[in-house]
Structure formats: C-alpha cells, structure tokens
Chains A and B, each alone.
Chain A
Amino acid sequence: MVSTLTKNERHFAFIISVSVAMCGLVMAAAGRNDLLGTHGFIVFFFALGVTFILARGYYDPEPGDERFSAYYDEPIKAGIILAMSWAVFAMFVGDWVAWLLAYPELTFDEPWASFGRLRPVHTTGIIFGFGGNALIATLFHVMQRTARARMPDQLSPWFVLIGYNLFCVLAVTGYPLGITQSKEYAEPEWYADIWLVIVWVTYLALYLRTLARRQEPHIYVANWYFLAFILVVAVLHIVNNLALPISLSSAKSFPIFSGVQDAMTQWWYGHNAVAFFLTAGFLGMMYYYLPTRAKRPIFSYRLSIISFWGITFLYMWAGSHHLHYTALPQWVQTLGMSFSLMLLVPSWASAGNALLTLNGAWHRVRDDATLRFMMVAAVFYGVSTFEGSFLAIRPVNSLSHYTDWTIGHVHAGALGWVALITFGAIYSLVPILWKRDRIYSPALVEVHFWLALAGTLIYVFAMWNSGIVQGLMWRTYTASGTLAYSFMDSVVAMHPYYIARAIGGLLFLVGTVIGFYNIWMTIRTPINIPRDLASDHPVTEHAGAPAAEPAE
C-alpha cells in the first residue's frame, strides 16, 4: 500500500493521519464526561494505526514512472476485501437480530444487545459498510477503465477509502453505546457526519478529476449513474444532517427541523438514499460488469438514456410515500404516490435493458454462476421496484405500512438486487484485479449462488406472508365492531415466519462466507495473467503529467 505512494504523498498522508489522531485526542479530552470521549479514543487509535502502517513503509522505494502505464488498482483490492468483511459482519448481525425477533429474550440482559441498538448495526454495516465499500471499489475500477485513464494521484483514493471506513466504524461502534440521531439510515452523530462530508467531497473531486483526464470522447452510462450517486448522496447527507450539537463536548445533537418538516426531510433523504445509494450506484455497477461478463453490447443506448433521466428526475419526488396517512398534508402524499407510480417505467426499462442485453448470451447465463448472479439481480430489481410502486399507492400502503411487508420489500431489493449484483461484480472483478485466469473454484461460486437465491426466496416469502397476515389482523373487526385481535396476538402469529426468515438469512450468510473464502483462495493462487487482460491499461500518450499536488 505505502510503496505505491510517492514521497510527497507519503508526506501528506502522514500529516493527514497525524492531524486526525490529534482531532481524536481533542475529542477524547473535550468529551471525557460523555460518550464523545469514547469515540475520540476510537478515532485516535484508528488514525494511530494508519500512521503506523505509513511509518513502516515510509522509506520504501518510490514507484517509478512505469506506474502511469497501468491503472491504479491497489485501493480497489483493499476495498473489495473490506466490502466482503463488512458483508460477513453485518449479515451476521442481521441474522442475529432476526433470531432476536423470534426469541426476544436472547439479549443476555445487556443494553448493547437489545434489538434497538443492534438493528442499526446491521443496517449501517450492510448498506454503508458492505454496499459503500463495494461501490467505492467498483467505481474506482469502472471509472478508470471506461475513461481509459489512471486516477490522477495515489493518495486521494486511499483517503476516500480509509476515511469512509472510519465513518462506518464510528457509526457501528456508536449504536451499541447508545449514540444515535434516531434518523433511520442517518443515525451517526454530528462529528461523524462532518467527517463524512470531507471524505465525500474528496471522493467527488477524485471522480471528476479522473473523468476530466478521460481518453474516451464519450462518457459511459455507468458513469452517469456513479456521478448521480456521489452528487445526490452529498446533497442528501448534508441537508438531512443539519443539526446543532447540544455542546461541542457532547455527542448529542438535535436536527434544525422539527415536527413534520423533519419527518419529510428525513424521508426525502431516506427514499433517495435507496434511490441513489442502493439503486443508482448499483445500476452503475450492473452497466459495466453485466455486458463485459456476457460479452454482449447493451440492448439499447436510447433506453439507457430514458431510464437514467427517468430515475434521476422521478425519484426526487417520491419520498413522501413513506409518510402516507400521517400529519403530512395530503397533497404531498398524492404527489409522492403519483411519482412513485411513474417511477415504475424507468425502473423496469433499466431491468429490461439489462435482461435483454443477455439475448445471445443465455448459454453463458446457464453455465456461468457469476453472470447468473447479475441476471437474477436484474430480475429482483424488477420485482422490488414493481412492489415499491405498488406499496406507494395509499390504500395498499394502509395495509402494508408498519408491517413486515416493508421488510420483505426491503430485502427483495437488498438481498435480491443489491447483494446479488455486488457478488456478480466482485466475482468478475477479482480475477481481473489479481491477474488470475479465473476464480479459485467456480463450483463454490455455484454453491454460493444457490445458497443466496434460496436464502433470498425464503426471506422474502416469509416476510410477504407475515406482513400481510399482520396487516390483516390489525384491521379485522368482530361482529360487535371492535378489534378482533390484540397486538400481542399478531406478534404470536409472526413467530414461525420469523424463524423461517432467520433460517433464510443464515443460508444467505453461509453463502457469503463461502464467497469470501473463494475470493481469498483466488488471491492466494499464483499469478497467471489471462490473455484477454493484455489491453487492460490506460491510454498513456496524452495522459499528461502526473498530478503534482496531492488531493487535499
């Protein structure tokens, strides 16, 4: 890692990590009577660790100019390992909370092990830890390949990757301690949010600088999605996290909006986090790895344009469907519902564009589990967006809201779409990055595929059932006009479904562990550069001088 940095970059990296360590110390001192202090120490030791790694490699020989004839792939490799580690961790916690719902007494009487604290560890760990690292890694790969340009420097990708993981660590260590803003998917407190802004702006700058160096006249679709992902997530994150800390020595803050304005801001954020993090980013991924793996041209360029603009324009309006039948004025709900309905068109157009691209390559889908991961992901993308538009219709939502149907919808998207497309992309990418002719064991990829598919189906069907049963129980009246079931009756009725879901989740988790093992073993097999990677290098004639100054 350090040996690929220039002397100058090592110098800057050193300054950055020492400054972060100092910030950690200041936090620890200022927040000594508060949980902020604990986080101060975590920041300090994290930065100290990075400084130590830097110091160890500080006097390694500098990379030569020959580096400009290759893409900069080191941070991508680290990103993939991090993504898989977060996946195993957060899916483990996901399955843990799934068992906890079936057997609520399994908390060892410890506050940190209560459902309310562990649940965000799962959601943050999986969305930001797994999803975010996978997006950073694949995006670094795709942007260099489709621009045919190397990243402008070596320091900023590392800053983005490591800085981002510091944010994730602060988030998931905070919840068990009780640190949270209580905004779903935006739980981390103000200091972590500020840090993420710094990281994210560097990310955007790095992306734009690489794009500016591109040697291709046109910008490929995947990059439109990636750019939308980075830009919109920046805006969402900043607006939804506008908050005032109760004091600079406390971890606690309060949002500047209140009441229904705060709720609307939160779900404008929440929905567009789904749209631009869990959808746009992963569509970018799909647009690169699916056609390269299938060796087919994209079905229709024009369809890509329609889908892209449809998705970016329509999603922005849909957030209010999370607040149907609440204090939110009804006209806002109608707008959210109608835009969600229209959203189905570009969503299905994207899924269709992906599936139709496979025409002429279905024999590969049959034989190659990696490609099949991506094919099934596109199907689940279609399923979950159809379901989403359906749930956004107010009368339907009056049945589904507050029930496990939402959880089923979430995981049809999260397991079936987000996780499967990511596994497909990572299995395609690993042999390319580590210059192996294939993954260690295609048979294990096959095993992983079937475990993941079975796990997803069990999970989703269990939740569809339990959600609808729950919703119906809550609205069943007796002949005398009173509720037929107490809430507790509906909880009891959920028990078998919760066990089924936890078993489905376990299958999914086991598949992920096998996948990680397979990737690890691929890395450990000896290098044998496959022939078709011979052209995997940037166009260098016009690449210009290496960036003189580091990113920050």
Chain B
Amino acid sequence: MAVEERDEHTGYLTTGHEWNGIKELNRPVPTVIWLFLTTAFLAALACWILLPAWPLGNTYTRGLLKADQRQRVTEEIAEAASKRSASVARIESMPFDEIRSDPDLMRNVIETGRTLFGDNCAACHGKTGHGGPGFPSLADNAWLWGGDADAVAETIRIGINSDHPETRTSQMLAFGHDGLLDRESILNVVAYVRSLSDPASAQGHPEAVSAGEKVFASSCAACHGKDGGGNTAMGAPNLTDQFWIYGGDEESIFSTLTYGRKGHMPQWESRLTPVQRKILALYVAGLGNGKEK
C-alpha cells in the first residue's frame, strides 16, 4: 500500500511507507556525501599503499614507505641518547666536586635530577624531598648514612634494609616489646631523649631525666653515641637535632622505643643507570640548600 505523498516543505516525494506516522523522503543521497566518501576512501587507499596494511598469509604488504614502528622507535631512542651523550660522558667520568664547579653541567644535573626524583623518589620522600611520617626529609641536613654526594650515591645504589646483597642495614630494637627495658626505664629514657633536643621539656621531672640518662648510656649510646649525636656508619640518627622521622613528641618516641623501627629504602642499582644515580645523588645532596654534613 505504498502511497507516495509530496512533502510540502521540501517538495520531495515520500517513499510511500509509513510506520506509526513516520515517513521518509525519497531524496537522493546528496552529492557531497559521495565526494566525502570518495575522499575518505582515497585517503585509506593512500595509507594502504604507503604503510604496512594488508595481511598476506604469513606476511603482509610492507608499503612504499617501508615504515616499521619497531625500527623507528629504536632509532629515535638512539638519536635521543646521542644527543645526551656528551653531557652523560662528562657526568660519568668527572668526580662530584668537579661537576659542582661547572655551572653548565650543574644546570643539566638539576633539571634532570628534578624529574628523576619526581618519578622515582617523590612517592616516599615527597615532591620537594621534605619527607613525611616514616620517610626522612632529604632537605634538612640531617643524614642517617651521611649526606655528602658519595654517601648519598651509595645509599641510592644499595638501599637500606633492601634486597641488595650489600644493602645498608640498621634496626632500632623493640626495647619494650621484646622486654629489654621495663616500662619505667622507657618512660625515663624518653624524657631524657626529649631533653636532648628540647631542654625545656626537662623541667618538672629532673629525676626522670637523670634516670633516663643512665639507661641511655647503657642501652642506647652504643649506636646513637654517648651524646646522642648519632652515627652515620650504622645509620643511627642524631637525637639532639630538630629532625625526626617518626616524630619527636613523647608518644612517638615511646612507640619507637617500645616497638622498634626498621625503615626500608629500595635499592636502585638494578633500576637506574650509574649516571642517573650520580645525578640523583648530586640533586639530593643539594636539596638542603647545598650544605653538606
């Protein structure tokens, strides 16, 4: 029952079909569509002629350009590496001090170091290297294992308590949990340790502080030093400064003494090249305003 009608608005006939009131105009496909389709097909054809495109059994059409994404990326990587090679070679061969006294090379180190640090270290040490609870600040001149570039480079290479065979190892014992000290001794030594960096905190309980001093001498001084100044040979932190990894308030120190601490830093020898590690060492050592300790 196809009855064509003329649409008044456009003047075209309908196809004569109707579905619940819907009709369709019997209008030819606009020429622009054919043009568009032809152009698109020609563009596709050009792709097929120029680039690898159609499978042929075990192989495929290679295309006139002989493009090969694998080869291309290998070349691009080699090209980028050769662009960097001059500065890389210098950084690799020069000692830290010499690099530092070369402003051009140093600019390169800081630029590269910032992104290397952002991509590899910032997750724990923070974007600016200021650390966070459990992760030491690298910008504060307080160093567990030494803050000169050589020591930092070594820490980066082997990590701390890591899976590297030469790893730096250190551990703060769980004095309370393992029953090495009773609760009272712990409270006393906490008072003493706080007084080292904050003499005002000693006020009001001098007995606890002096009792704590004795405990410190017998149980803590072996690692942290007689005066609590720390020992970078064994990664024992200085307790007399204002820098704390796990917090310097009474509660945090109490918990450190009770449960112990054993922080972990991964080794980077298998993940970063020697030059990258050298750059990072320079960058990190320079975070605390360039002052080394």
Q: Which residues of B contact A485 (CB under 8 A)?
A: 115, 118
Known contacts A145-B20, A489-B118; is-contact A301 B10 (Cβ 8 Å): no
A-B contact count (CB 8 A): 153
B114 in the interface, Cβ–Cβ < 8 Å? yes
Chain A residues contacting B41 (CB-CB under 8 Å) are 342
Contact B84 A481 (CB under 8 A): yes
Q: Are B122 and A488 in contact (CB under 8 A)?
A: yes
Q: Which of A302, A344, A349, A486 contacts B119 (CB 8 A)?
A: A486
Note all chain B residues with C-beta closer than 8 A to A295: 21
Interface of A is mostly: helix
Q: Contacts A298-B23, A298-B24, A338-B43 given; indicate if A331 touches B52 (C-beta within 8 A).
A: yes
Q: Are A359 and B9 in contact (CB under 8 A)?
A: yes
Contacts of B118 in A (CB 8 A): 485-489
Within B67-90, the residues touching A (CB, 8 Å) are 67-69, 80, 83-84, 87
CB distance from A454 to the nearest CB of B (A): 32
**CB-contact partner of A331 in B1, B22, B28, B55, under 8 A:** B55
In terms of DSSP, what is the predominant structure of the interface of chain B?
mixed
Do B29 and A482 touch (CB < 8 A)? Answer: no
Distance from A304 Cβ to chain B, minimum over Cβ atoms (Å) = 7
Cβ of A220 and Cβ of B33 under 8 Å apart? no
Considering the chains assembled together, what is the distance between the CA atoms of A355 and B72 in angstroms? 44
Residue B99 lies at the interface, judged by CB distance under 8 Å to chain A: no
Please tell me if A146 contacts chain B, counting CB pairs below 8 Å.
yes
Contact residue among B23, B33, B40, B54 (Cβ-Cβ distance under 8 Å from A297): B23
With an 8 A cutoff between CB atoms, is B244 at the interface?
no
Q: Is A517 part of the contact surface with B, judged by Cβ < 8 Å?
A: no
A339 interface residue per 8 A CB criterion: yes
Judging by beta carbons under 8 Å apart, are B114 and A292 in contact? no
State in angstroms the CA–CA spacing of A478 and B107 once bound together: 11
A304 to B22, alpha carbons, bound, how many Å? 14
A300 near B27: Cβ-Cβ < 8 Å: yes
Within 8 A of A (CB), among B1-55: 1-2, 7, 9-10, 14-15, 17, 19-30, 33, 36-37, 40-41, 43-44, 47-48, 51-55
Interface residues of B in 256-270 (CB under 8 A from A): none
A427 to chain B, nearest CB (A): 18
> Number of A interface residues, CB 8 Å?
55
Among candidates B1, B26, B47, residue contacting A301 with C-beta atoms closer than 8 Å: B26
B127 at the interface (CB under 8 A from A): yes
Tell me whether A297 and B25 are in contact (CB under 8 A): yes
Chain B residues near A330: list those with CB within 8 A: 51-52, 67-69
Residue of A nearest to B87 (CB): A480
Task: For the complex formed, measure the closest distance between the CB of B131 and the CB atoms of chain A, giving whole angstroms.
Answer: 15
Q: Is the CB of A481 within 8 A of B9?
A: no
- Interface residues as binary, B164-202 with A (CB distance below 8 Å gives 1, 0 otherwise): 000000000000000000000000000000000000000
* Cross-chain contact A218 with B17 (CB below 8 angstroms): yes
Q: Which residues of B contact A337 (CB under 8 A)?
A: 47
- A292 and B21 in contact, given A334-B52, A342-B41, A342-B44 (Cβ under 8 angstroms): yes
Cα of A339 to Cα of B47 in the assembled complex, Å: 10
Which residues on the A side are within 8 Å of B119 (C-beta)?
Answer: 486-488
CB pairs A–B below 8 angstroms (6 shown): A301-B24, A301-B26, A306-B33, A345-B36, A359-B10, A478-B112
Known: A334-B48, A489-B118. 16 other contacts (CB 8 A): A145-B19, A217-B2, A297-B23, A297-B25, A304-B24, A306-B37, A310-B37, A339-B44, A345-B40, A482-B84, A482-B115, A486-B116, A486-B117, A487-B118, A488-B118, A488-B119
Which A-B residue pairs are the 10 nearest by beta carbons?
Answer: A486-B118, A360-B9, A338-B44, A301-B24, A297-B23, A331-B52, A300-B27, A298-B24, A146-B19, A481-B84
